[in-house]
Structure 1
Amino acid sequence: MEALLAEPETAEADRLHAATASLLARATSDMARQEFIALLASGQRMLGALREFGTVHCSVGLHRDDVGGGAEPLFSLFTIAWRDTATAPRAATAARAVTASDGHRHVEYLELPCGPLTISEVLRGPATERALPPLPLLQIHAHLPHPDCKRLAVLTVSTTAVARREEYRALLRGIVDTVSFEDPLGAAS
């Protein structure tokens, strides 16, 4: 996200320019270059909106359907966001995260080495914007309260492959098993 949202005249902006210059040089026409630039700008706007909501990491997944054998690739988005919370015990914060009226379903409460957390699903209706496909969006959230009891890490996998909910749930469970709130660099950072 940092590279795509870099301020002009910074090292990050220079790296983005170098990466996109090679892609633009390979474009087959001026129209293809313009389309690429427009898509990049659109992606930057979307990432900017995600950042405004506390998102600090975003990964895009595009993979074949190993289970269903479908010809179309499956698309997913994985994000990590921070949310400020009222100071409370971590277990209460994890439980409270899924009791809001956001339509959380299939709620699980887990105790892992990183602490208590909840995993839940939200199914959003088809998008009404023309630029988005008219498909329902499945979002699987993991809510992990930080040990300081003032913040909540929200890990989310989003996909339109609603029929693959169990596989995406298992994927998110595997990710949260690796979470730690310790600084791997220690005091050196």
Structure 2
Amino acid sequence: MIDDTAKDPSSKIWYALPAGFFATPIDALDPEPGSERESQLEQALALVLDLAPEDQRDRYAGALRDVRFMAAQMRSEGVIACSLGMHYADDGSSASSVFTVALRDIEWAPAKITAVRAVSLRECAENVGLLTLPGGRPASISDTLITMPALEGVPSQDLYQCNLYIPAPSGTQLGVLTLSSTAVGSRKHYRDMMEGIAHTVSFHDPLPEIERAARGDTADGTGGIGNDIASDFG
């Protein structure tokens, strides 16, 4: 299934996600002050609070404030897309995750150097690897476990995080794709899935190539990209 965002002429990066991911409209959650979007968001949040049980409205209000704060933080860090994922782990339990895409301006450098530099500067990076994407493009990947401190009402827990670094052909932009999940037991599956996603990333409109691949008339191997992404963990 091709999302409508893939046909947006203002898009700067394209990628494919497996089934089970749902886009979160971070732009709508962090509108410009005084804009029509902000007014619409305030109305929507007020409706949610009206529907909440009276004895839990403060809790709901706090959660909504946290969501807006996180959306603003992500946008300030260059995140341009966010999706929530829900899949099944090997033991049959559900595994939720958050997937984000950031596009950062960088000083020009050869693509391979950019990929190596990006992953080496990551704090606590483990299991570092270099990838060769379609067309011989370089990329890098790393993952790690982070222990999150205990918060009020939330115990300390481990968080799995996997990062992809994919330089744009221009050499002046870097795509950073990140997946985070508390389902640390599924880290191998998430790592494999992220490597599959990496092979779908493009900085130009890939739809014509995808249409040719669907007809089976490509000779560059792009026809198999969709099969490289695991849509579930089973």
Q: TM-score, normalised by structure 2?
A: 0.68
Q: Is the 8 A contact 1:3 1:15 kept in 2?
A: no
Secondary structure of 1:2 counterpart: helix
- What SS class does the counterpart of residue 141 from structure 1 fall into? strand
Look up the equivalent residue of 1:81 and give its one-letter code: A
Post-superposition offset of 1:120: 0.9
Give a deviation string over 1:80-137, Cα, whole Å, max 9, x none: 1123333110011111112226122222211213721111112222324446541121
Which residue of structure 2 lines up, in the alignment, with residue 68 of structure 1?
A: 91
Q: Does 1:167 align with 2:189?
A: yes
Does 2:35 correspond to 1:13? no
Q: Measure the CA separation in 2 of the matches of 1:18 and 1:126.
A: 34
Aligned length: 181
Q: Is the 8 A contact 2:89 2:95 kept in 1?
A: no
Higher helix share: 2
Question: 1:38-57: CA deviations, max 9, x gaps?
Answer: 21101111222222222222
Work out the CA distance in 1 between the residues paired with 2:200 and 2:42.
34
Bigger mean CA deviation after superposition, 142-151 or 10-19: 10-19
Separation in 2 of the partners of 1:35 and 1:141? 32
**Counterparts in 2 of 1:164 and 1:41: CA distance versus 1, 3 Å:** same
2: CA distance, partners of 1:148 / 1:105: 28
- Identify unmatched segments of 5+ residues in structure 1: none
In percent, how many aligned pairs have the same letter? 35
| Higher RCO (CA-CA < 8 Å; seq separation 6+) | 2
Q: Distance in 2 between matches of 1:58 and 1:131?
A: 26
Matching residue of 1:42: 66
Higher mean alpha-carbon deviation, 33-42 vs 146-155, is at: 33-42
Change (3 A) 1:131 1:55: farther
Distance 2:197 2:43 in 1: 32
TM-score (norm 1): 0.82
Kindly provide the amino acid, as one letter, of the partner of residue 67 in structure 1. D
Q: CA RMSD in A?
A: 2.4
- Which residue is 1:100 aligned to? 121
Unaligned regions of 5+ residues in structure 2, if any?
1-25, 208-234
C-alpha separation in 2, matches of 1:146 and 1:131: 42
Q: Is 1:54 aligned with 2:78?
A: yes
Q: Give the deviation of 1:58 after TM superposition.
A: 1.7
Where 1:58 maps in the other structure, the secondary structure is strand
Query: Do the aligned partners of 1:2 and 1:12 also contact (CA within 8 Å) in 2?
Result: no
| Whole-angstrom CA distance in 2 between matches of 1:113 and 1:11 | 42
User: What amino acid is the match of 2:71?
Assistant: L
